[in-house]
A and B are shown apart, each in its own frame.
Chain A
Amino acid sequence: MPQLHDSTSRAQGEPNAHEHGFDRIFGLETEYGVSVTGADHAVQAANAAVAMFRPIVEHTRSTNTYLANGSRLYLDVGAHPEYATAEARMPSDALLADAAGERIMRSMALNAQEQLRDAVGSAARIHLFKNNADSAGHSFGCHENYLVRRFVGLTDITDQLLPLLISRQIITGAGRFADGRFSITQRALFVDETVSSATTRSRPMVNTRDEPHANPEEFRRLHVIIGDSNRSQWATRMKLAITHLVLCVIEYHARHQESSALSLMALADPVDANHAVDEHGVQAQLQLASGDHVSALQMQRRYWQACATFLDAHAHAVDASLGQPGAALQILDEWRVVLDELERDDIASLATRVDWAAKLHLFSQLVARRLGCDVDQARALLRQPGALPPALALQLAQLDFDYHDIANGAVFDALVRHGRMIEEVSAQQADEARHTPPAGTRAVLRGRFVQLAAEAHVRHACDWTTLELLEPHKTTVSLLDPFEDQPDAQLSAIFDQLEARIALHETR
């Protein structure tokens, strides 16, 4: 079993053990949308967002803060509250961290709602949307971060990974009913480029940032922008898990400088393919660089097969990266099951795990009931722009937003309560994770630092790779290795100092 931590050998100049395995760091950053309804007079989203962050600003004098669970909370461009999970070793840990973020955001929104009601009436509600589009054509994201070995080049990413990211939307798409029509993605139509290093003027599918927040000689950080914000916890976990398997295959072949079957997946025009998936869903025809066409589902089957073949020889190594025997084959099996359901068009089964299917299932039953047609006819009407009566279309647009409202939404919770949507992390588990960082990464160190410094009333600052005490004099600690969860001598001494300070206060 490969070692997960190897700081000793690194100190002696040997390559980091993590470079040879498939160990990965996962992160999820979510920008939330905000609205206010029911107030005496209109309240801007920005005001509600500022109200949400007021307690944080009062405490830290900043709208950007790191928490005791190692995550980052801040108020982003355009008044989007944003939560970035701490570094996680496994998709299930990242899911738990993301669920904690939802609970934190929800508390902030409901607290701000109480304050707001004093000013604009007791019917006022703050809606906090974990989605990717408002009602006026503005988009915002759920970004995934993956630590990837440096020897994986941009061509590998474009040719071998993009088609996965585009086709996986048949599983990970959150769905959207807007402008009189249902599509399976939230985000696809807002993405205009393939791979880019810019983030503000264009919206690429994948951003290759130079700051890996790790040793740049060993790693790069892959920043995936094309993903939808999922309410389904299964989809959040599987989004990361499936991408991890494919990255293992890509890394293995790049490491050994062998060509990979995945190079054959390269698309003729990824932006077109992405639009096709949005418009036509599971059976969307995607043109390969070779000129052939495959459906989105067939493309997913090919990726599945490439991973299955790879795991025949390397399951143990991938299991080691996930910290559990059998983990890789478990993911493969869940992936196969959902592909089989997609092939059978079994919407009712898909609805328990796939966000777009959950919406489609509910919306088509609702339309069937209202119009007195059967569910299949209702589904056809949903896919046809403008086919529904305007009042009904408007109500579906409202329900589509409500599905993503983590503060005051009713739809998603109703689905969970009635057994129509699987929950993998309970509210209690998510609440515990508000104060507990994911295991096995530098988030452990950052979380402990923030916890102790706050308790000791010592001013401090963080970013992903640095911890800073600001008083009595500025002391800086570097956390360059995201896999390192043990404090070095300098940081241990700082922890001791802070604990001593806390003990001193307590004895007064």
Chain B
Amino acid sequence: MPQEQVNRKASEHTQAVNDEQVRLNVEAEASMDVLDSILDDISTVLETNAQEYVDSFVQKGGQ
């Protein structure tokens, strides 16, 4: 294969890898943004006394 074609293929490949990495980074950032929103929404739970919450849930078993 002529050198030009090899170079073009190599740079296309690099571009594809870069695009994928950007996509993953964007997804990861979006995921972190969503995580932050979720953590905000559940902040009242995270602020309560976990020991008291857990210990208070005791029942006799059912079936």
A36 and B46 CA atoms in complex are apart in Å by: 17
Q: B41 contacts A37, CB within 8 Å?
A: no
Q: Mark A23-62, 1 if CB is under 8 A from B, else 0.
A: 0000000010111110000100100000000000000000
**Bound complex: CA A367 to CA B46 (Å):** 13
B60 near A79 (CB under 8 angstroms)? Answer: yes
B63 and A33: CB pair below 8 A?
no
B23-63 interface (Cβ within 8 A of A): 31, 34-35, 37-39, 41-42, 44-46, 48, 50-63
The residue that A31 contacts in the complex, of B53, B54, B62, with Cβ under 8 A, is: B62
8 Å CB contact of B60 from A78, A401, A411: A78
- B58 lies within 8 A of A135 (CB): yes
Assess A79 versus B52: contact at CB under 8 Å? Given A410-B44, A410-B45. no
- Size band of the B side of the interface? 20 to 34
B-facing residues in A299-341 (Cβ within 8 Å):
none
| In contact, B54 and A397 (Cβ under 8 angstroms) | yes
A140 and B59 CA atoms in complex are apart in Å by 9
Cβ of A134 and Cβ of B58 under 8 Å apart? yes
Let me know if B38 and A414 touch, CB within 8 A: yes
* A366 cross-chain contacts in B, Cβ below 8 A: 35, 39
Please tell me if the beta carbons of A398 and B54 are within 8 angstroms of each other in the complex.
yes
Q: CB of A234 within 8 A of chain B?
A: no
Q: Which residues of B contact A419 (CB under 8 A)?
A: 34
Contact, CB under 8 Å: B63 / A199: yes
Does A426 touch B at the CB level, under 8 Å? no
Residues of B within 8 A of A418 (CB): 34, 37-38, 41
Selected from B37, B45, B58, the residue in CB contact (under 8 A) with A411 is B45
The yes or no answer to A139 lying at the interface (CB within 8 A) is yes
Tell which of A82, A200, A397, A398 touches B45, judged by Cβ atoms closer than 8 Å. A398
Q: Give the chain B neighbours of A77 by CB distance below 8 A.
A: 60, 62-63
A36: nearest residue on chain B (CB-CB)?
Answer: B56
User: Is A219 located at the chain interface by the 8 A CB criterion?
Assistant: no
- Is there an interface contact between B57 and A401, defined as CB atoms closer than 8 Å? yes
Cβ < 8 Å to B, chain A residues 398-426: 398-399, 401-402, 410-411, 413-415, 417-420
Minimal Cβ-Cβ distance residue in B for A143: B63
Separation of A9 and B55 alpha carbons in the complex (Å): 59
Residue A136 interfacial (CB < 8 Å):
yes
A270 proximal to B (CB < 8 A): no
12 A-B pairs besides A78-B60, A391-B50 with CB distance below 8 A are A33-B59, A42-B56, A80-B62, A136-B58, A138-B58, A143-B63, A225-B63, A365-B35, A398-B45, A398-B53, A399-B45, A411-B45
Q: Chain B residues in contact with chain A, CB under 8 A?
A: 31, 34-35, 37-39, 41-42, 44-46, 48, 50-63
Residues of A within 8 A of B (CB): 31, 33-37, 42, 45, 76-80, 82, 127, 129, 134-136, 138-141, 143, 199-200, 203, 225, 348, 362, 365-366, 369, 391, 394-395, 397-399, 401-402, 410-411, 413-415, 417-420
Listed A/B pairs (13) with beta-carbon separation below 8 Å: A31-B63, A34-B59, A78-B62, A80-B59, A129-B57, A135-B58, A138-B58, A138-B60, A399-B42, A401-B53, A414-B42, A415-B38, A417-B41
Report, nearest first, the 7 A-B pairs whose CB atoms are least far apart: A140-B62, A78-B60, A414-B41, A138-B61, A35-B57, A398-B50, A31-B62
